[in-house]
Amino acid sequence: MRPVFKIWLENNGKVFGEGPLEILQKVEKMGSLRSAAAQMGMSYNKAWRLIAALEERLGYHILEKRVGGASGGGSKVTSNAQQLMKRYSDFKEEAAIMLEKLYYKHFEDFEGD
């Protein structure tokens, strides 16, 4: 038996979590939402809707988007979103460690399994 957890941020509905973090990391690396989605095996359509929903709930943009041009365009993570990524990521990492410890504290002598 093992503990599993999910942590996310809410504002008017879910605003940031594991999924968005991963997408944004890929966008930083690839330079476009389309190729980021492709690399994750996710359809561009899904990725786009996910980002759109987040931006609406957050009330500010997490991607600077350019349409057209030499390369067709591309997307860049805003500095606001970069901060959010770092904070959420650190927060989650620490949480994982604490929860693991807490689990052992409460369950190490449990005989139910």
Partner DNA sequence: TGCCGTTATACTATTTATAGTATATTGCTA
Partner DNA sequence: TAGCAATATACTATAAATAGTATAACGGCA
Residues at the interface with DNA (CB under 7 A): 32-35, 42-46, 48-49, 52, 63, 65-75
H-helix or E-strand containing 66?
Answer: strand 63-67
Out of DNA, a second copy, none, which partner does residue 46 contact, by CB within 5 to 8 A per kind?
A: DNA
Instruction: Report CA torsion sign: 79, 87, 18, 10.
Output: negative
DSSP 20: H
- Alpha-carbon distance of 62 to 55, in angstroms, equals 6
Report if residue 96 touches a second copy, rule: CB under 8 A: no
Answer with the entry of DNA, a second copy, none that 39 interacts with (C-beta below 5 to 8 A by kind): none
12 binds, among a second copy, DNA, none (CB under 5 to 8 A by kind): none
Contact status, residue 21 vs residue 28, Cβ threshold 8 Å = no
Which positions touch a second copy (CB under 8 A)? Answer: 1-11, 14-15, 58-60, 80-81, 83-84, 87-88, 90-91, 94-95, 98-99, 102-103, 106-107, 110-113
